[in-house]
């Protein structure tokens, strides 16, 4: 909301509120941005001096402020304080940051169907609270709807007077803007909650087309169209056109109730928020909170059946080709003992692998990610080339160890055979001496020696 500096004639303090900036001016007076001693910010409206001297206006103003005090709801700007007996009566409502619906459409153009339905659902809930308090707004229009970060808010409950070429500003007549007035207001008939339904339908049509459903022109021309001509809804999306047409019916009895309108707008908002293919929007959408969530739609995220198929394919790929993460090149491979062992005789009995012939001291390579067909992915270096992965490097180490161990075993066997002598080592039997034929004695227990 645009703010302006205070002018010389503007007050600096009103009641217990200190004024900081001008927020705007209307038929009733000037609206200021103020704050109390606790720092709470308010939108404070001070009544014009000429209206303050009118006792009829004071009585009417007092009744409407009393009715506004009874309104409860999250989609309304809460009345904070008021002084009806001051020289210039004033009232303060909760300050709502954010642009008006009129400024938003004027700057950014027509809103999407999801946004319009979401805003309409929130506004209908706000009107439901207003009507339950026995109040009829009578001047619902795009400039009286503020789009805050927490959702749209309705301001000026039944006490707003607008100015300009297309505004009725005479005391004692129906107040409001001709492009958004209901036919019964133009005729001077009693207003009912259906009056606000007509204004809400015209407001939502404006959000869809950036123009009043009764066009532009002087007050007299537009009031005639409101009473005698049908609303122009050519630019309204098909999802909203039938509902808005029923809201703009000439007979108040033909318009939907506030509760029915709220429920139908919620259904449209939920359907439009999921997109044409049934998939949810990236930021979701909800009536009443975060009206801007429906502004962006995903460009690359599948929706509906495509989303389910995409999720199923991801699940199948994860179960078929997912394994333990690739080890860092600077870290040694994880030991075999650290990995879970399959159930087998040795592990089940708790035997030592060294006693059962198993090998210890060797490290098993960490498993690497595999593709969809189970093939291993080659490891890429920082320069973009390929180098052997952990499995090839371990295989090379095993071959080297096997060759070294084989050579050591062969050398050990050769050394052991050399210690036993050349004859035994070469497998040649040593000759045995034979006694001569004369029967001489070779030595004790020698050949040919007789035992005693």
Rounded to 10°, the helix 113-132/193-209 angle is 160
Crossing angle of helices 101-108 and 193-209, in 10° steps, is 20
Q: Are 291 and 145 in contact (CB under 8 A)?
A: no
| The two structure tokens encoding residue 401 | 């160890």
Task: Check if the beta carbon of residue 242 is closer than 8 Å to that of residue 255.
Answer: no
CB-based contact 183:47 (threshold 8 Å)? no
Q: Return the SS3 of 315.
A: helix
Q: What is the C-alpha separation between 212 and 229, in angstroms, rounded?
A: 13
Nearest alpha carbon to residue 34 among 60, 64, 13, 50: 13
d(CA 94, CA 90): 14
According to DSSP, residue 259 is labeled H
- End-to-end Cα spacing for the chain: 140
Q: CA angle, corner 256, sides to 254 and 259, nearest 5?
A: 155
Q: Which of these is catalytic: 36, 54, 87, 139?
A: 139
What is the DSSP annotation of 186-245?
Answer: HHTPPP-HHHHHHHHHHHHHHHHHSS-TT-S--HHHHHHHHHHS----TTS-TTTHHHHH
139 among known catalytic residues: yes
Distances (CA, A) of 49 to 44, 145, 265: 16, 27, 42
Catalytic residues: 139
């Amino acid at each position: 909301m645009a703010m302006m500096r205070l002018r010389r004639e503007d007050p600096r303090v009103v009641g217990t509120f200190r004024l900081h900036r001008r927020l705007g001016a209307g038929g009733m007076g000037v609206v200021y941005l103020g704050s109390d001693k606790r720092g709470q910010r308010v939108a404070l409206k001070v009544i014009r001096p000429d209206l303050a001297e009118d006792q009829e206006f004071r009585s009417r103003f007092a009744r409407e402020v009393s009715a506004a005090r009874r309104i409860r709801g999250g989609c309304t700007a809460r009345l904070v304080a008021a002084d009806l007996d001051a020289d210039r009566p004033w009232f303060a409502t909760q300050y709502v940051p954010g642009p008006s619906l009129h400024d938003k459409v004027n700057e950014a153009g027509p809103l999407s169907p999801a946004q319009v339905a979401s805003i309409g659902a929130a506004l209908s809930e706000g009107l439901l609270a207003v009507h339950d308090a026995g109040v009829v707004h009578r001047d619902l229009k795009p400039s009286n709807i503020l789009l805050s970060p927490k959702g749209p808010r309705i301001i000026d409950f039944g006490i707003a007077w607008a100015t300009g070429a297309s505004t009725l500003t005479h005391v004692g007549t129906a107040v409001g803007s001709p492009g958004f007035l209901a036919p019964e207001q133009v005729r001077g008939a009693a207003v009912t909650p259906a009056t606000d339904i007509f204004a809400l339908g015209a407001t939502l049509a404006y959000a869809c087309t950036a123009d009043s459903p009764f066009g532009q022109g002087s007050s007299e021309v537009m009031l005639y169209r409101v009473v005698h001509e049908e609303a122009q809804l050519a630019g309204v999306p098909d999802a909203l056109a039938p509902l808005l047409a029923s809201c703009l019916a000439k007979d108040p009895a033909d318009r939907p109730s506030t509760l029915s309108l709220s429920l139908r707008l919620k259904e449209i908002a939920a359907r439009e928020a999921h997109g044409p293919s049934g998939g949810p929007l990236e930021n979701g959408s909800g009536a009443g909170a975060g009206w801007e969530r429906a502004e962006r739609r995903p460009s690359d995220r599948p929706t509906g059946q495509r989303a389910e198929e995409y999720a199923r394919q991801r699940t199948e790929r994860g179960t078929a080709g997912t394994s333990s993460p690739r080890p860092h090149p600077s870290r040694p491979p994880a030991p075999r003992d650290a990995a879970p062992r399959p159930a087998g005789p040795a592990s089940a009995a708790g035997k030592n692998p060294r006693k059962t012939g198993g090998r210890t001291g060797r490290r098993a390579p960490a498993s690497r990610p595999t593709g969809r067909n189970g093939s291993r992915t080659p490891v890429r270096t920082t320069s973009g080339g390929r180098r052997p992965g952990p499995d090839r490097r371990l295989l090379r180490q095993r071959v080297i160890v096997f060759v070294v161990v084989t050579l050591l075993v062969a050398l050990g066997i050769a050394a052991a055979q050399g210690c036993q002598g050349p004859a035994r080592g070469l497998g040649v039997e040593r000759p045995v001496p034979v006694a001569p034929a004369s029967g001489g004695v070779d030595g004790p227990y020698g050949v040919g020696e007789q035992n005693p």
